[in-house]
Amino acid sequence: MKVKKTNWKEIGVIGVDSGCVLLADPCYWLKKKDYQKTVCSEWGNVKEIPYSLGHMGKGVLVRSGLGDGTYSVKALIENVPGWGERVIEIRIKFI
């Protein structure tokens, strides 16, 4: 049995001052009024932010575990045939 090697690398740190993190495509940045509406309403731990056309999400808003602070961001990097090294997955440990 061949064991697949994982290659997790720390790629940076994210600072949190709102108690949550937004994962989004920069092409769909939220306008300030949309962000305030989303954050200020009750939404549990995770919320998908719908795209205005309804066919995909603008992003995902996630509560940051214990709240404000700095959190390490790690990426799983693998060699994808025909594409080279690519980020396969990201990990942010909030607690």
In which band, very low, low, confident or very high, does the pLDDT at 30 lie, cut at 50, 70 and 90? low
Is 3 domain-assigned? no
Q: Which of 8-12, 43-47, 56-60, 73-77 bottoms out in mean pLDDT, i.e. has the lowest? A: 43-47
Task: Give residue 70's pLDDT.
Answer: 92
Is 1 domain-assigned? no
Q: Return the closest-CA partner of residue 45 out of 34, 30, 60.
A: 60
Share of the chain above pLDDT 90, in %: 27
Is 72 domain-assigned? yes
Tally the domains of the chain. Answer: 1
Mean pLDDT in residue range 10-39 = 72
Is 2 domain-assigned? no
Q: What is the pTM of this model?
A: 0.66
Find the domain containing 13 and state its range: 8-92
Mean pLDDT in residue range 42-52 = 64
